[in-house]
Chains A and B, each alone.
Chain A
Amino acid sequence: EAQVTQNPRYLITVTGKKLTVTCSQNMNHEYMSWYRQDPGLGLRQIYYSMNVEVTDKGDVPEGYKVSRKEKRNFPLILESPSPNQTSLYFCASSFKTSGTGELFFGEGSRLTVL
Chain B
Amino acid sequence: GENVEQHPSTLSVQEGDSAVIKCTYSDSASNYFPWYKQELGKRPQLIIDIRSNVGEKKDQRIAVTLNKTAKHFSLHITETQPEDSAVYFCAAADTGFQKLVFGTGTRLLVSP
Contacts and interface: CB of A to CB of B under 8 A. Distances in A.
Interface residues on B, range: 20 to 34
Contact of A45 (B6, B42, B99, B105): B99
Given A90-B43, A99-B93, A105-B43, A44 B102 contact: yes
Interface residues on A, range: 20 to 34
Interface stretch (A12-20, A21-29, A35-43, A68-76): A35-43
Main SS class of interface, B = strand
B18 interface: no
A98 to B, nearest CB: 5
Contact of A90 (B1, B6, B44, B105): B44
B69 interface: no
Interface string A56-100: 101100000000000000000000000000000010000001111
Given A42-B105, A100-B98, 13 more contacts: A35-B102, A40-B9, A42-B102, A43-B102, A45-B99, A50-B98, A90-B43, A98-B98, A99-B98, A99-B99, A102-B34, A105-B45, A107-B43
29 contacts: A31-B98, A33-B100, A35-B102, A40-B9, A40-B104, A41-B104, A42-B104, A43-B89, A43-B91, A45-B99, A45-B100, A48-B99, A50-B98, A58-B99, A59-B1, A98-B93, A98-B95, A98-B98, A100-B32, A100-B95, A100-B98, A102-B46, A102-B49, A103-B36, A103-B46, A105-B43, A105-B45, A107-B42, A107-B43
